[in-house]
Amino acid sequence: MATVFSFASTTPALKSKHHSVIFQPTYGRKFCRIRCNGGNPKSKSSTKPESVPQNALLKIAWYGSELLGIAASFMRPPSNVEQPERDLKLARDGSGSVDRARVVETIKEDFERSYFVTGNLTVDAYEEDCEFADPAGSFKGLSRFKRNCTNFGLLIEKSNMKLMRWEDFEDKGIGHWRFSCIMSFPWKPILSATGYTEYYFDMETGKVSRHVEHWNVPKMALLKQILRPSRGFWHQRTNPDHLAAYQAYKRNSTGELRDVDLLEPVGVPWFHRFQTNTMELEDTHMDAYLHILRKRQRYYSTVYGPRINIQDLQFYSWLLNDWERLMGSGADKPRRSWSMFKHQWSAEELAVSIVILRLARKKKKRKSQSTRYVKKTAMVFPYMETVVGFMIVMYFFETYLDLRQHAAHKLPRLPKTLEGVISQEKFEKARAYSLDKSHFHFLHEFVTVVMDSAILLFRILPWFWKKSGSFLVLVGLDAENEILHTLAFLGGVMLWSQITDLPFSLYSTFVIETRHGFNKQTVWLYFRDMIKGMFLAVILGPPIVSAIIIIVQKGGPYLAIYLWGFMLVLSLVMMTIYPILIAPLFNKFTSLPEGELKEKIENLASSQKFPLKKLYVVDGSTRSSHSNAYMYGFFKNKRIVLYDTLIQQCKNNEEIVAVIAHELGHWKLNHTMYSFITLQLLTFLQFGGYTLVRNSTDLFRSFGFDTQPVIIGLIIFQHTVIPIQHLINLGFNLVSRSFEFQADAFGKKLGYSSALRAGLVRLQEENLSTMNPDPWYSAYHYSHPPLVERLAALDEPDKKVD
Decide: helix, strand or coil at residue 133.
strand
CB atoms within 10 A of CB 779: 15
Decide: helix, strand or coil at residue 641.
strand
Decide: helix, strand or coil at residue 589.
strand
User: Do the bridges between strand 126-134 and strand 137-140 make them parallel or antiparallel, or are there none, so unpaired?
Assistant: antiparallel
DSSP H or E stretch at residue 127: strand 126-134
* DSSP code for 298: G
Task: Report yes or no: 137 and 52 within 8 Å, Cβ to Cβ.
Answer: no
Task: Report yes or no: 798 and 753 within 8 Å, Cβ to Cβ.
Answer: no
User: Do the bridges between strand 172-183 and strand 190-201 make them parallel or antiparallel, or are there none, so unpaired?
Assistant: antiparallel
Phi-psi region of 426 (alpha: psi -120 to 50; beta: other; left: phi over 0): alpha
Among residues 66, 513, 655, 663, the one annotated as catalytic is: 663
* DSSP code for 109: H
Decide: helix, strand or coil at residue 121.
coil
Contacts of 275 (CB under 8 A, 6+ apart): 230, 231, 232, 233, 234, 235, 237, 238, 308
Q: Is 213 annotated as ligand-binding? A: no
Decide: helix, strand or coil at residue 241.
helix
- Is position 322 annotated as part of the catalytic site? no
Among residues 131, 385, 452, 744, the one annotated as catalytic is: 744
Task: Report yes or no: 656 and 650 within 8 Å, Cβ to Cβ.
Answer: yes
DSSP 154-188: TTEEEEEEEEEEEEE-SSEEEEEEEEEEEE-STT-
- Is position 663 annotated as part of the catalytic site? yes
Residue type, 652: N
* Rounded (5°) CA angle 320-357-268: 115
Chain centroid offset of residue 148 CA: 28
Max CA separation in the chain (angstroms): 113
Contacts of 32 (CB under 8 A, 6+ apart): 314, 369, 372, 373, 374
Buried b (16+ CB within 10 A) or exposed e, 181-199: bbbeeeebbbbbbbbbbbb
Could you tell me how many residues make up the chain?
Answer: 802
User: Do the bridges between strand 637-643 and strand 612-618 make them parallel or antiparallel, or are there none, so unpaired?
Assistant: parallel
Q: Is 256 annotated as ligand-binding? A: no
- 665: closest CA among 738, 746, 608? 746
Q: Is 740 annotated as ligand-binding? A: yes
C-alpha 63/C-alpha 65 separation (Å) is: 5
- Binding-site residues for Zn(2+), please? 662, 666, 740
Q: Active-site residues: which are they?
A: 663, 744
